[in-house]
Every structure is written in C-alpha cells, then in structure tokens.
Amino acid sequence: MDSPLLLPIARVQPENAQAKTLYFDHALHSQPGQFVMAWLPGIDQKPFSVAYDNGREFGFTVFPVGPLSQALVSLQPGDRVGITGPYGHPFSVKKDRHYITIGGGYGAGPLALLAERAAAAGAQVDFCLGAKTEGLLLFAQRVKTVPNLRVHIATDDGSLGRRGYVTEILEELLLETGAQTRLIAACGPELMEKKVLDLCNEHDVECEISLERYTKCGFGVCGQCCVDPLGIRMCVEGPVVDRETANRISEFGAYHRDKSGTKIRY
C-alpha cells in the first residue's frame, strides 16, 4: 500500500541548466497533475509531480533546491529511489476543450503531460511557458512535437520569447474568441497562479490550478497540507482544484503553513 517501492532509475534526462528528469520502467498509471513521493533513505522524502507517463515508463523532473533534490539529480541509472503514489486529484482531460496551459518554472512538468494527453484526446492546446531566463525553460522542445499545440514563451530577462510574465500571454489569448470551450490549466509560483485565477474570474473562463502545500504523508492523514477555510487536503482533494474551489480557498495567494504548521505570508 503506502510503503515505498524501491525502483531503479532507467535513465536520466537533463532538461535545462539545472533540471533533470528521472525515468523509471514502471507502470504508474498516473493522471496529469498527480504526484509521487520520492524517498532516499537517510535523506528525506518529498512530493514530485509526474512529468511523464506512457503507461510503461514514468518520470518526474527535479530542480536541485534542497538536500533531497540535490541528491536526486546526482543519481545515475541503476540507482534506486523509494516511490509511493501516484497521489492527488488530477487535471481534467477533455477532448472538447481548448486548453491554455500556464506553466511557471518547474510547474511546466505536469502541464507537459497534460498537454500530451489532452492533444491525444483531440483537444487544441496553447502551451504557455515562463521562466526567469531561457536556460531555465522546461519542456519547450518536448511539446513542439505535440499535434494541435502552439508554444508561447515568456522570460523575465527577455532571453527567449516575450520579455515579461507568462500571465501577460494569457491576457492576450483570453481576448481571442471561443471562450465557451476554454479550459485554463495553471501550475507554477503561487502569485502567478493567483494572477491566472483573477484573469479567469474577470473573463469568466473555466480553470484548474495546481496548488502546492507542504506535504508530509501525501495520502490524507497528517493534515499538514489542509487549506483554510475549507480544510480540504491538497494531497487528496488537491493539488488540482477548479475555479470555484480556488475562489473559496482564502489562503490562496495570501499565506501557507510551514512544516510546524506556522502560517507564512507571501
């Protein structure tokens, strides 16, 4: 059940200046937006969004930010990682929607998988990608082969694509026609996501947002990732929430809780 399965890394794919995707030959049966818990004995165990899953092989993308992620990016094929999951409520995959995905930084991971699944189902996709600089963009090349998909890029320094925020691209796309069938899917820094939600409210467009909270168990018992005032668990009822739910989460864009449960303001 929810005890780690030790899986050997099948291959390691460098994605950009910092990130690597670790692939495993394992039928995870995940849906876009779900996550796994990855454990290295003696170091730590943390949640990672599934970035790739073809039914036989899955992968998740790691940015080195702390002890666990730094250890993970240094691993070689054959090294083993303790995996539990997949967990969480995913993005919807609907064939009759025009998807606009908004990914900031490593938020592009689950959105690339969503874009592939949605396009395979027959949906049209605008894939909007933002990062600080060109070297930190994720999956810009990977999604280029997806049918019925347009890529839009924004970088803070203007090194590739538009100079500015990825949400500015969304503002422009929302002015185009066809609003009834649109589904906006966002994953990235919380203040970016809040901007996406505000725009979707303003234009009355359907959206789904992946909301990350500090995760301990990952399967709904510890209460660490609950959000105010609903008390719903981002590892079970989330991380992906629809617009109505996001609007009812008063802490969204305002604060989150650290591992002690202390509130931290954005």
Partner 1 sequence: MISATSFCGVEFGNPLILASGVWGSAASSLARAVENGAGGVTVKSLSLAPRAGHPNPTMVGTKTYFLNAVGLSNPGIEAGKEELRRYKELAAAPLIGSIFAGTADEFAQLAAAVSVSPIDLIELDLSCPNVGREFGEPFAYSAAAIGAITRQVKSATRVPVSVKLSPNAWNIAGLAAAAEAAGADAITAVNTVSGMAINVRARSPVLHNKQGGVSGPALFPLALKCVYDIYERVRIPIIGTGGVTTGEDALAMIMAGATLVGIGSAVYYRGAEVFKKIRAEMEGIMAEEGIKTLDEIRGAAHRACP
- Closer residue to partner 1 in complex, CB, 11/263: 263
* Distance in angstroms (rounded) separating the CA atoms of residues 9 and 25: 8
Interface size with partner 1, residues (CB under 8 A): 39
Q: Are 218 and 84 in contact (CB under 8 A)?
A: yes
* Distance in angstroms (rounded) separating the CA atoms of residues 178 and 125: 13
- Closer residue to partner 1 in complex, CB, 45/167: 45
Stretch that binds partner 1, among 70-78, 153-161, 173-181, 229-237 (CB under 8 A): 229-237
Stretch that binds partner 1, among 15-23, 33-41, 171-179, 199-207 (CB under 8 A): 33-41
Taking CB under 8 A as the criterion, the residue among 46, 97, 182, 195 binding partner 1 is 46
* Distance in angstroms (rounded) separating the CA atoms of residues 107 and 98: 20
Residue 128 marked ligand-binding = no
- Closer residue to partner 1 in complex, CB, 86/104: 86
Decide if residue 3 touches partner 1 (CB under 8 A). Answer: yes
* Distance in angstroms (rounded) separating the CA atoms of residues 59 and 255: 30
E strand segments, 78-234: 80-87, 98-104, 124-131, 149-155, 162-163, 182-187, 206-210, 226-227, 232-233
Decide if residue 25 touches partner 1 (CB under 8 A). Answer: no
Of 163-202, which residues contact partner 1 (CB under 8 A)? none
Say what the alpha-carbon torsion angle 130, 131, 134, 137 is, to the nearest 10 degrees.
-80
Residue 235 marked ligand-binding = yes
- State in angstroms the smallest separation of the CB of 8 from partner 1: 10
Q: Which DSSP symbol is given to 239? A: B
Q: Are 170 and 205 in contact (CB under 8 A)?
A: no
- Closer residue to partner 1 in complex, CB, 80/162: 80
Residue 200 marked ligand-binding = no
* Distance in angstroms (rounded) separating the CA atoms of residues 244 and 174: 19
* Distance in angstroms (rounded) separating the CA atoms of residues 90 and 84: 16
Where residue 235 falls (left for φ over 0; alpha for ψ -120 to 50; beta otherwise) is alpha
Closest CA to 184 of 234, 235, 114: 114
- State in angstroms the smallest separation of the CB of 132 from partner 1: 28
Of 202-221, which residues contact partner 1 (CB under 8 A)? 216-217, 219-221
Stretch that binds partner 1, among 24-32, 94-102, 185-193, 254-262 (CB under 8 A): 254-262
- State in angstroms the smallest separation of the CB of 5 from partner 1: 9
Stretch that binds partner 1, among 19-27, 119-127, 193-201, 258-266 (CB under 8 A): 258-266
Decide if residue 66 touches partner 1 (CB under 8 A). Answer: no
Binding interface with partner 1 (CB under 8 A): 1-4, 6, 37, 39, 41-46, 80, 82, 216-217, 219-224, 226-233, 236, 257-263
Which residue ranges are tagged as binding site?
217, 222, 225, 235
